[in-house]
Amino acid sequence: MIINSLKLKNIRSYVKEELIFPRGSVMLSGDIGSGKTTILLSIEFALFGIIRGQLSGSNLLRHGTNEGFVELNFTIDEKNVTVKRFLKRKNKTIAQDSGSIIVNDEQFDLTPVELKSKILELIGYPDELLTKSKSLIFRYTVYTPQEDMKQILLESQDERLDVIRRIFNIDKYKRIKENNVNYIRQLKIKKTELETRVEDLEEKKTEYKTYDDKIKIIKEESSKIQIIVNNIGKEVNVSEEEMKSFENQVKMVETLKNQVEIKTNNIHNKQSTIERNDESLKRIDDKIENLNKEMVDFKAYNIKELKLQRTTLEEEKSKTSDNIGQISDRSATFTAKKQNSEEIMKSIDSLDVCIVCKQKVDSNHKKHVNAQENEKILALEEQLLKLQELKSKRKIALEELNSKLSKINELLQKQEVMLLKKENLEGHMKTKEELIKEQTKLEVAIEKETAEMLEVKKNLEAQHDVGDKYQKAKTTLNNLREKLKVEEIKKAEFAREQRTLEEVKTRLKEEITRKEESKKQLAYIRQLQEWMVKFFMNVVYLMEKQIMLTIYQEFNEFFQEWFNMLIEDENLNVRLDETFTPIIEQNGYDTTILNLSGGERTSVALAYRLSLNKVINDFMGLIKTKDLLILDEPTDGFSSEQLDKIREVLEMINIKQIILVSHEPKLESYVDHIVRVNKEEHVSHILA
């Protein structure tokens, strides 16, 4: 992995900057607090995002801004990769927003977690780092803040071993041993449970055999009862067939009785009908006699001619009535004209000025107007008198027409009544003939029904003992059925008892099967427990010990080599104990790291750091960050002579890209490239 460039916007003291990283050794130079460490933190943030407890959004986003981003471009496995992560202020918190990654011009827009997963895949780090807050491999192979490396040296043995185990993924052996102990504990619980389950296995087998014997006895008894049931069943079948025969005979007797009753009722009904018909004939004869008497003096008229006369009279009556109406209308008109003339005469007498011409009306004009109107009134009275005489004549003519119409309507009504009586007479005569015919038929039918009834009674007398035979057969069948029911109840009781025993037997069988299975599991668990206690734990312990020993030997060798290169003092030697704790020997006596000078402590930390980097890269062959090393203030407290050793260190490291952060001007001559960082008015800038 080689870093090519880094873009920052609103990240700590940077407003907007871009930094190009060449290959080889690169030194970030600048005063303390100028923004060099921000560049290293930004690289780590671009790769892994916010790291809980180590790298928060509030420590990265520039104060007073609402959003910012870091964009890192690097090359890995001949792939050009650009990753961009965003920070956004939300309410009172600062959180990561969705980002993007471009791999060989193919862009993926991802959430922070998805982005971290993609980066881990590219750089070959284990997947379990996705859910961990710390990326130990990156922190102890690529970039370790100087204070973090000193911290691992000052931690307790257990904490240091725990870190080493997690770095090399050896803590899984510790988890395996702990899980193994827990599993063995669970096996013991399971073994106790299974032992409890199988302790009564033999008793259950004996109980199962007892129930099996009882079922065999019940089956034998059921077979005997089945034979009895079959025999009685045959007798019941024979008796039922006999019963069917008697039932048919009884039905036939009932049919004959019904026929006798029906024919008796028919004869009685027909006789009653004959009596009713005789009474009806008597009443009809009386009606015929009365109608004949009424028809003796009847004079027939031509009804058609009478109706024609009535129509003519009605037309004349209508015309006369219309004429009277016209006379009344003309009389009303003349009367109105007369009243109008009278009103004019009355008005002219009291009029002094004409309402039309506004001239004075004299007495001569009034006389003239009165004379004219009197003439009109006399003429109108003469016309009214003539109309009154004409109207009287028309009313007399109308009364004569009404009288004639009344007489004609009376004749028509009498003719219609007599015609109805004549029709009734003819109807009664016809009804009389039909009743006489019906009487003859009824008498013949009574004779036939009487003969048939006598024949049915004769057949009925031949079946007089069928009822007794039927009752006897019915009693026999009921007795057989009752006997069959008793035997079937016995059979059902045996069957129910057998089912109950079979169910208990089945449950016992299932229980025995489960206990047999538990017995097999118990044997397996005992073997498994013995194997895990005697063999597996030892194998895990030996594997862990062997791996730790291999790491220790290489780690200790590199640690001594790097330390001796940094400090050429025969009286000062270092080594690692089995807990990876640095043991310092000064003038033949063991001492602690706290008793060393600042430069010596930094040398121990740098040697430990470089050794750990080498061992991790050697043991974890799949990681792809071996070509990159970031050293943060590795020379803190170094003397001028110790600073000269850094040249040899850089040459021996032999890594394609080394990023060195320092404010020591002397180191500038030891590196291939220098990037200067300057800070003015709280804003950092990259100087060309």
For residue range 671-681, list pLDDT tens digits in order.
999 999 999 98
Q: Give the pairing type, strands 673-680 and 657-662.
A: unpaired
Closest CA to 577 of 598, 561, 600, 553: 553
Backbone angles phi, psi at 29, to 5 degrees: -110, 145
Residue 8 has pLDDT above 90, yes or no: yes
Summarised one tens digit per residue, pLDDT across range 447-457 is 888 888 887 77
Q: How far apart are the first and last CA of the chain?
A: 25
Summarised one tens digit per residue, pLDDT across range 228-277 is 888 888 888 888 887 787 777 777 777 877 887 888 888 888 888 888 88
Q: What is the pLDDT at residue 106?
A: 94
Going by pLDDT thresholds of 50, 70 and 90, the confidence category of residue 127 is low
Percent helix, strand and coil across the chain, each to the nearest 5: 70, 15, 15
Closest CA to 529 of 173, 179, 172, 181: 181
Summarised one tens digit per residue, pLDDT across range 326-353 is 888 888 888 888 888 888 888 877 776 6
Going by pLDDT thresholds of 50, 70 and 90, the confidence category of residue 488 is confident
Mean pLDDT, the chain, whole residue set: 84
Closest CA to 597 of 644, 649, 639: 639
Evaluate the CA torsion angle 653, 654, 659, 661 in order and state its sign.
positive
Going by pLDDT thresholds of 50, 70 and 90, the confidence category of residue 684 is very high
Other Cβ atoms less than 10 A from the Cβ of 574: the count is 23
Residue 143 has pLDDT above 90, yes or no: no
Range 359-366 contact pairs with CB under 8 angstroms and sequence separation of 24 or more = none
Q: In what order do the strands lie in the sheet with 589-591?
A: 572-576, 582-586, 589-591
**Per mean pLDDT, which range of 212-216, 410-414, 475-479 is the poorest?**
410-414
d(CA 644, CA 387): 165
Q: What is the pLDDT at residue 21?
A: 95
Evaluate the CA torsion angle 200, 203, 207, 208 in order and state its sign.
positive
Other Cβ atoms less than 10 A from the Cβ of 332: the count is 9
Q: Which two tokens stand for residue 377?
A: 């009134």
User: 3-class DSSP state for residue 374?
Assistant: helix
Summarised one tens digit per residue, pLDDT across range 589-607 is 888 888 888 888 888 888 8
Place of tokens 């009596």: 275
Summarised one tens digit per residue, pLDDT across range 435-449 is 888 888 888 888 888
Stronger pLDDT, 188 or 297, i.e. the higher one: 188
Q: What is the pLDDT at residue 590?
A: 85
Residue 131 has pLDDT above 60, yes or no: no
Going by pLDDT thresholds of 50, 70 and 90, the confidence category of residue 5 is very high
Summarised one tens digit per residue, pLDDT across range 291-308 is 777 766 666 667 778 778
Whether the Cβ atoms of residue 238 and residue 480 lie closer than 8 Å to each other: no
Q: In what order do the strands lie in the sheet with 657-662?
A: 143-144, 628-632, 657-662, 24-29, 673-680, 683-687
d(CA 190, CA 347): 142
Summarised one tens digit per residue, pLDDT across range 13-35 is 999 999 999 999 999 999 888 99
Concatenating the DSSP letter of every residue in 308-343 gives: HHHHHHHHHHHHHHHHHHHHHHHHHHHHHHHHHHHH
Q: What is the pLDDT at residue 391?
A: 83
Going by pLDDT thresholds of 50, 70 and 90, the confidence category of residue 169 is confident
Other Cβ atoms less than 10 A from the Cβ of 277: the count is 16
> Which pTM was predicted?
0.52
- CA 27 and chain centroid, separation: 64
Residue 663 has pLDDT above 90, yes or no: no
d(CA 227, CA 223): 7
Could you tell me which residues come within 8 angstroms of residue 578 by beta carbon, excluding any fewer than 6 positions away? Answer: 552
Q: Is 164 exposed, middle or buried (0-12, 13-18, 19+ CB in 10 A)?
A: buried
Going by pLDDT thresholds of 50, 70 and 90, the confidence category of residue 557 is very high
Stronger pLDDT, 348 or 57, i.e. the higher one: 57
Residue 500 has pLDDT above 80, yes or no: yes
Closest CA to 638 of 597, 675, 684, 594: 597
Alpha-carbon separation of residue 286 from 43, 83, 296, 437, 616 (angstroms): 140, 132, 16, 20, 146
Per-domain residue ranges for the chain? 203-288+464-503, 295-461
Q: Which helix (H) or strand (E) holds 574?
A: strand 572-576
User: 3-class DSSP state for residue 355?
Assistant: coil
Stronger pLDDT, 536 or 133, i.e. the higher one: 536
d(CA 271, CA 392): 75
Could you tell me which residues come within 8 angstroms of residue 536 by beta carbon, excluding any fewer than 6 positions away? Answer: 180
Q: Is 112 exposed, middle or buried (0-12, 13-18, 19+ CB in 10 A)?
A: middle
Closest CA to 144 of 211, 73, 249, 54: 54
What is the average pLDDT across 126-153?
68
Closest CA to 666 of 648, 632, 640: 640
Q: What is the pLDDT at residue 146?
A: 63
Q: Which two tokens stand for residue 278?
A: 């005789």
d(CA 390, CA 396): 10
Q: What is the pLDDT at residue 82?
A: 96
User: 3-class DSSP state for residue 72?
Assistant: strand
CA atoms within 13 A on the CB side of 527: 6
d(CA 161, CA 170): 10
Q: What is the CA radius of gyration of the chain?
A: 70
Q: What is the pLDDT at residue 280?
A: 84
Whether the Cβ atoms of residue 663 and residue 638 lie closer than 8 Å to each other: no
Going by pLDDT thresholds of 50, 70 and 90, the confidence category of residue 361 is low
- CA 104 and chain centroid, separation: 45
Residue 481 has pLDDT above 80, yes or no: yes
Angle between helices 537-566 and 640-653 (to 10 degrees): 130
Whether the Cβ atoms of residue 83 and residue 6 lie closer than 8 Å to each other: no
d(CA 8, CA 30): 18
**∠ CA(429), CA(432), CA(434), 5° rounding?**
115
Query: Which range is most confident: 131-135, 163-167, 177-181?
Result: 177-181
Q: Is 435 exposed, middle or buried (0-12, 13-18, 19+ CB in 10 A)?
A: middle
d(CA 231, CA 228): 5
The partner residues of 71 in beta bridges, in order of sequence, read 7, 84
